[in-house]
Each structure stands twice: as C-alpha cells, then as structure tokens.
Structure 1
C-alpha cells in the first residue's frame, strides 16, 4: 500500500463576488416581487458574498465542466502538466447534462491524453467521494497520481425564469403565485465554483498533506430524503421521479428545481453529524484533542453553534479557534466547498509540519457524512 499526499490545490470562482443586495439582480424576481424569505435566510447563514457563473442578464458565462477545467489548470506548472495526469475524478451535484458523465466532459475540455475517469454524484459529499476514489487508486498502486475535484454551477437552476411557468400555473388555478419555501430557501444559500486537488504518492513542494484516512457514513436506511431535485416528495416520504411526471408537469411544478425539507434538516443534520464523526474518530483511534485545524463544511452559520455543542456533548469539544471556515466569503458551493476551504488554508501560511487537519462534510440529501484526516508534511 502506498502513501497518498495532496501536493497542490487549485480553485476557480467565476466572475466578480456578488454581494447580498445584488443577488436578485442576477437571479431575477419571481412574479416581479422581492423574496420575503431572502433577508431572513441571509441573516441566518451570514454569507456576505458568493460567485455566480452568470452575467447581469442572467445568462451563463461558464458551464460546470468549464469551471472544473479552470480549477484543474491551476494545478499545472513546470513540474506537472496535463500530460502527467493518470486519473481524473470529479464530483458534483449539478452536472451540465445527464450523459455523458461530468468527468468525461471535463476531460474533453482538458484535451490532454487518455486517462481513467470517475464521476461521483450526490450532494455535498460528491466532492469527498471523488477524493476518496483518487485516494484509494493511489493507495492501491493503480495510479501514481490523481486529479480530484468538486464543483457546482447551481445558479442557472435558481434564476427566476425557471419558476415562471409554475407561477403562471398557480395564477390560472387562482392560487397565490408564491414559490414554496423549500424551493425559495435554497436560492439564497447556494453558489458556483470549483476546487481541485492533485494527489500523488510522494510529497512535493513546500506544503503537502498526507491523507491518513477517509471515512463515509450514510443514514438513508433510516431517514427519508431531505434535499432533492428532479422529483417531488410524496405524503409517505417517498420521491416520485421526474420520469413519472408528464412533460407539462415538469414546468408547472418546477420538478427540476432543488428543494430541501427544512424541518427534516433541523431535526437530524447535527445529530447524525456528531454521531458519524465520533464513530470515524473512534474507528481510527484519533482524539479530538489531536486536531489542529477543523474544517467543517456547513451550509449556514446558523448551524455552527449547534454543531459545536453537539460535538462537545459526544466528547469532541474542538475549540472554535481551531475551526477554519470561509463560508461568508465564498458562499455555500456544495461539493466544492471543502476544496475551497482547504485550498485557502494550504495557501494561508498558517500550517506547520506535523499539524493535523480534519475535513468534515455533511450532505442533507439523505443524510450522508464524509471525513478525511490529514497530516501536514
């Protein structure tokens, strides 16, 4: 078995940062009315700026594949080029198309050479799952290196035009033309961007991070779906898929919009997060006292104090000064968020050899959690 190191990190955030008061100028107004939920949601999530692959007319400036390619190109230098890549592993919640895979579309843009590909789907854990595929490939000696990514281009899913037909349908039924909170909520939470890691079987450069272990946990066997797209939740908690709806219903009910069951999120996201992290640390015989930097991906600052409390209650009281987060500056970029946070930490000058770093990524899709434990070398 080989050792595995993150030897370089890259990122790509499209266009200029979008401040809170400018969001609706990019995403548009639904039914020509300012969202009543927007200010409340922004006050709770404490996000101050984010990035959109959009222009001021709501038109696309980049595809997801282009965002990912741009992040990967940040990994290349005089010592490592696209022709040196052996594996490309890409994770995203928002691929540009259903088929071919996201990794294949990224590879098509890189135009380097034949490589092995992997595409990870899901929600926020998709980026960590793509990282784990690269980690295991190098660990087993299948490849000497891997490029792993997390990326999202969700803004095009949230522009007002995507909800116009549903609003018209509600009006025709003489109902209030107000988009359900489960859809409007996420318009003020999510943003675009991509991050990339270069993994190798030897350390390189001034800072490398040895991946000691990775763990993942799903609670789908006991909990129903919380965050979803391409379907609609039924009374019994099951999801009726888009393919079981008529094409006119896709528009009239905004079937392809991203939705979240906020009550379910509040009930379980912290409880299962603390439980899974306790199990991951115990399995690998790591005490929370050994962690020098804790990088939790949280969708909103609303959850930060609750997460701190939940972890402490299970014997993992990590002081807040050890937490490293950039949510307020770059927004919630889903599967890319953990890449963007670690890239910033790696380039901050704060890390010292021997420091231990824990990455923690929850996913509310059906409640999954991923962890990675790193040593600075």
Structure 2
C-alpha cells in the first residue's frame, strides 16, 4: 500500500510587541527616516507587524508555534520523529535551530535539521518532510517556519525596514493511507542572488560584509509574479488538477500587489486568497504556515478543502505545494 502524508495540526505564534505603521513611522522619524502609513499601505498592503524582544530567538517563536500545532493534532513531543525548521535567521551559526528547538520541546532523539530557502523555506521543508514520510523515514513530522527579520533590517532604509516582521508557523505532518500532499514543485536560480540577500558573514570574530538585508524591489516583483504562476501550474499538472480545483490560495505574504497579480494569473478571485500580510508584514519562511494557521483557526479554511501554498524568496528560490487539508 502506498504511503502518503497529511497535515493533522497547525499552529502559529507572533511576539507580543505589535507595531502599527503609525508606531513604526514615529520610530523612524526619530532616526531621521521619513515615510508614512499611506506610503506603506499603498505599496505593500502592510498595516502592522510584530517584533521580538531582546533575548528571544527564532527557536523560541518556533517552539510556541510547534506546541500549538501539536495540541491541534492531538500529539505530544514524544510522538515526533522528524523536525524540520525553515529559517534564515537562526539562533546561531550552528547547531541548527531545529536541534535547539528540539531540546526546548523535549523531543530529543529524532532527526532534526534546518532548511535555508528564505521565503520559500516552508514550501521546501514541507516537500522534504512529505518525501521522508512517503519513503518510511518518518511517521510524524513537525515542519516549522520561524523568523526574526527585525534583527537584520537597516532602519535607515525605508524601502526595506517597513516590510518585514517576526513570527512563526508550524504544522504536524503525519503518515496516512489517503493523500494529503498531492504534488509539489521546487526551483532555484542562483544567478539572482544579488537582488535579495544579506551579504555579511562571520569571520575571525568579526562581521565581514554587510549584515543587513538588501533588496532590489522592482527586480524581485518582476521575477516573483512569473515564477509563482509557473510553479502553481506545474504543481497542478503533476496532481492532474486545474485552477478550478483550488479552494484557497495561500501565498507567501510579501506584498499585496504580488499576491493580487498571482491570483489574477491563476484566474482566482482575491476572495479565495488568504491574506495576513496586512497584520504580520513579511515574515519570510514563517509567512505561509502563519497564514495557514490563521485561516484554519478562523474557520475560513476547512478540512477537506484543496489548498495551494506557494512561496518565492532570496536565492532565488521558489516553489508550490498542493494539498488536501
């Protein structure tokens, strides 16, 4: 009998500190940076974001999301035999944030590792977990996206510092006799490294290069819309489905304009697109599972519905997953 994987629980967590656009604009003004709520909303759709407190790390945010997902799935940490964490803001150079989170969760002994695909990270991690469950390497996986992007932002650059927030999302993915994950499609093209990156690194006890996020917004937008459509269509083709079979599109929450353009290309109404970017900003690898959990807990997305998850991020990486909830 063929083995499949299904999501059995979702969870998310955002830090308590919430900054509306007005709050952020006031903070930036104190640093001599001019922007406005109108400017941010018009270009991005973002109205608020959450920032982690000092001393809080990506593993801490991911831990809370993981606990919520386990509770929703009716599982305990000892049931988990695989932990994959998607993050671009790890607690430290090594060990992996997954190993740190594993110990905090009390799921010691199972396989645990990080995936680094920036904003596509959760789609990558979910695809890897699905493959490991299908081959019998795991039965119950925690797949987590967690980020603290506020610590890699240049708050003198208004084109980037208003875009990002901190948060985490998680799912429990379990072996099943019936298909949950229907198909996926992953890609990367390293020639686009320069349009979205953090080019610094640690060497000889110092930071070499620039430790802040750099982005060519126009180049990212142009590339993102095209590859998101391509990945969605390729995934549908693998599953033998069409756009009409998608009940909900849950894209990476980067920019409302990218999301609107993608939905239009897929002939989908924005009424069928889960949007949380207005309240969370761009939380990179956390954005898709965070949006998924919000949609599930609000009752918007229901069991049995077909979801298209898709992300695009630095690398450049992109991909999509089609699943039955």
The normalised TM-score by structure 2 is 0.89
Contact 1:153 1:192 in 2 (8 A): yes
Aligned residues: 323
State whether structure 2 residue 85 is matched by structure 1 residue 90.
yes
Cα distance, 1:81–1:299 mapped onto 2, change above 3 Å: same
CA distance in 1, matches of 2:233, 2:290: 25
| Superposition map of 1:270-281 within 5 A | 270-281=225-236
Contact 1:7 1:209 in 2 (8 A): no
Contact 2:145 2:170 in 1 (8 A): yes
**Runs of 5+ unmatched residues, structure 2:** none
State whether structure 2 residue 321 is matched by structure 1 residue 366.
no
Q: CA deviation at 1:352?
A: 4.6
Which residue of structure 1 aligns with residue 137 of structure 2? 142
Alignment match of 1:76 (pick from 70, 81, 84): 70
CA distance in 2, matches of 1:96, 1:185: 26
Cα distance, 1:306–1:112 mapped onto 2, change above 3 Å: closer
Cα distance, 1:284–1:212 mapped onto 2, change above 3 Å: closer
Cα distance, 1:327–1:128 mapped onto 2, change above 3 Å: same
Contact 1:294 1:322 in 2 (8 A): yes
Alignment match of 1:263 (pick from 187, 212, 218): 218
Q: Who wins on radius of gyration, i.e. which is larger?
A: 1
Q: CA deviation at 1:343?
A: 0.8
**Runs of 5+ unmatched residues, structure 1:** 55-59, 161-178, 232-241
State whether structure 2 residue 8 is matched by structure 1 residue 14.
no
Over residues 187-217 of structure 1, what are the superposed CA-to-partner deviations in whole Å (9 max), with x where a residue is unaligned?
10000011111111149xxxx9921122212
Contact 1:219 1:368 in 2 (8 A): yes
Over residues 330-351 of structure 1, what are the superposed CA-to-partner deviations in whole Å (9 max), with x where a residue is unaligned?
2211101100111122223244
Q: CA deviation at 1:271?
A: 2.0
CA distance in 1, matches of 2:207, 2:92: 20
Cα distance, 1:3–1:158 mapped onto 2, change above 3 Å: same
Which residue of structure 2 aligns with residue 32 of structure 1? 31
State whether structure 2 residue 116 is matched by structure 1 residue 126.
no
CA distance in 1, matches of 2:23, 2:29: 15
Cα distance, 1:224–1:10 mapped onto 2, change above 3 Å: closer
CA distance in 2, matches of 1:258, 1:136: 32
Which residue of structure 2 aligns with residue 226 of structure 1? 195
Contact 1:42 1:188 in 2 (8 A): no
Stretch moving more, 265-274 or 113-122: 265-274
Contact 2:50 2:167 in 1 (8 A): yes
Q: CA deviation at 1:48?
A: 1.4
CA distance in 2, matches of 1:243, 1:319: 45
State whether structure 2 residue 161 is matched by structure 1 residue 187.
yes
Cα distance, 1:245–1:46 mapped onto 2, change above 3 Å: farther
| Superposition map of 1:277-288 within 5 A | 277-288=232-243
Q: CA deviation at 1:260?
A: 0.5
CA distance in 2, matches of 1:299, 1:143: 32
Tell me the SS of whatever aligns to 2:91. Answer: coil
Tell me the SS of whatever aligns to 1:7. Answer: strand
Alignment match of 2:251 (pick from 296, 302, 314): 296
Contact 2:250 2:307 in 1 (8 A): yes
Contact 1:298 1:362 in 2 (8 A): no
Which residue of structure 1 aligns with residue 184 of structure 2? 214
Cα distance, 1:135–1:21 mapped onto 2, change above 3 Å: same
CA distance in 2, matches of 1:40, 1:106: 38
CA distance in 2, matches of 1:49, 1:209: 37
Stretch moving more, 262-271 or 139-148: 262-271
